[in-house]
Amino acid sequence: MEPEIRPEPTPEERNAILAALERLFSKGSGSPAYRSAWREAGIRENAEDSAGED
């Protein structure tokens, strides 16, 4: 997929932006927000809370 960047950057700016996006998303699939420690802590907390709800 080719990202659309607006306003149109210079070729050098475009290369820098694309390189940054590649580094950002190369560490795993999806958004970095899905890999955050805050998210993981919230999921664990919610799992623990719902474990006693039977």
pLDDT tens for the chain, residues 1 to 54: 788 999 999 999 999 999 988 887 776 656 667 778 888 898 889 888 776 665
pLDDT at position 5: 92
pLDDT at position 6: 93
Residue 18, C-beta contacts closer than 8 angstroms, at least 6 positions apart = 3
Domain ranges in the chain?
11-51
- Tell me 25's DSSP state: H
pLDDT at position 27: 66
pLDDT at position 36: 83
Gyration radius of the chain over CA positions: 18
pLDDT at position 33: 73
